[in-house]
Amino acid sequence: MHTFKLCSRSLTDCPGTSSQTAGKSAACAGCPNQSACATAPKGPDPDLAVIAARMRGIKHKILVLSGKGGVGKSTFSAQLAFALASKGKEVGLLDIDICGPSIPKMLGLEGQEIHQSNLGWSPVYVEDNLAVMSIGFMLPNPDDAVIWRGPRKNGLIKQFLKDVNWGELDYLIVDAPPGTSDEHITIAQCLQASSPADGAVIVSTPQV
Ligand SMILES: Nc1ncnc2c1ncn2[C@@H]1O[C@H](COP(=O)(O)OP(=O)(O)O)[C@@H](O)[C@H]1O
Ligand SMILES: [Mg+2]
């Protein structure tokens, strides 16, 4: 697993957050994250094995990303999902834009609810071979702003990856929020637990 170096003072010497010496090595002295690293659980994240097992039935994973919002990520993700499904592929579309989930609205799925079974959370099916999962299905009012700190967002993304019962998929398309932040690090790390994403599509528009 790739370890992200969180300490800004001595990046090259930072032992990494999952190291047994996290927060305790000489390079950690004075780092603002020292006490967090020293007290956090060490070693590989146990969730990663569960995620890897879940991802085993997914042949290809594609992330859709951008530096800023409103450039067409969700539109592109939805179109790509429909295009692949129309070719007869088994497709899953996962919306991890926790603060602005737009996939339910775009696909006419507002008000749909997620059902649970002993196999996990069942996604919402647009067609037999097109399954959709979004935080939007879990919010009581789609117009409410979601104001969450990083750890809570990471927790939900992990839960999506662990608990959604996609079954066998040819493609899982992940519609990400704008930027390069918590959600992106979490999804990249979690997907890597099984096999890394096949690629990322970066959506951009010209600056005017
Ligand atoms: N290729 C395009 N040309 C023109 N408008 C677009 C295009 N793609 C998306 N849009 C519009 O831009 C707006 C933002 O798109 P959206 O897919 O929600 O962006 P993001 O997910 O990056 O925030 C929407 O109103 C959408 O209809
Ligand atoms: Mg979007």
102 lines ligand 1 (CB under 6 A): yes
The confidence score (pLDDT) of residue 150 equals 84
**Alpha-carbon span 167 to 90, nearest angstrom:** 9
Q: In what order do the strands lie in the sheet with 124-127?
A: 124-127, 130-134, 91-95, 169-175, 58-65, 199-202
Q: Which residue out of 68, 73, 75 has the highest number of ligand 1 atoms within 8 Å of its CB and is therefore the one to mutate? A: 75
For residue 69, which atom of ligand 1 is closest to its CA?
A: 23
pLDDT in tens, 30-39: 888 888 888 8
What pLDDT does residue 1 have? 47
Residues of the chain with pLDDT under 50: 1, 3-5, 7-8, 10
Does residue 25 contact residue 18 with C-beta atoms inside 8 Å?
no
Q: Which two tokens stand for residue 13?
A: 């010497």
- Taken in order of first residue, the domains within the chain and their CATH numbers are 1-43 (no CATH), 47-202 (3.40.50.300)
Nearest CA to ligand 1 atom 13: 70
Query: In this structure, what token pair is assigned to residue 26?
Result: 């000489």
Residue 99 Cβ inside 6 Å of ligand 1? The answer reads no
Task: Identify the pLDDT of residue 174.
Answer: 96
Taking the CA of residue 78 as reference, the ligand 1 atom at the shortest distance is 17
- CA-CA distance, 192 to 159, in Å (whole number)? 16
pLDDT given at position 133: 95
Please give the model's pTM, rounded to 2 decimal places.
Answer: 0.83
Give residue-wise pLDDT tens across range 23-77.
Answer: 888 888 888 888 888 888 777 788 889 999 999 999 999 999 999 899 999 999 9
What is the predicted pLDDT for the residue at 207?
80
Separation between Cα atoms, residue 183 and residue 176, nearest integer Å: 8
Rounded to 5°, the CA angle 136-50-125 comes to 35
For residue 47, what pLDDT is reported?
A: 87
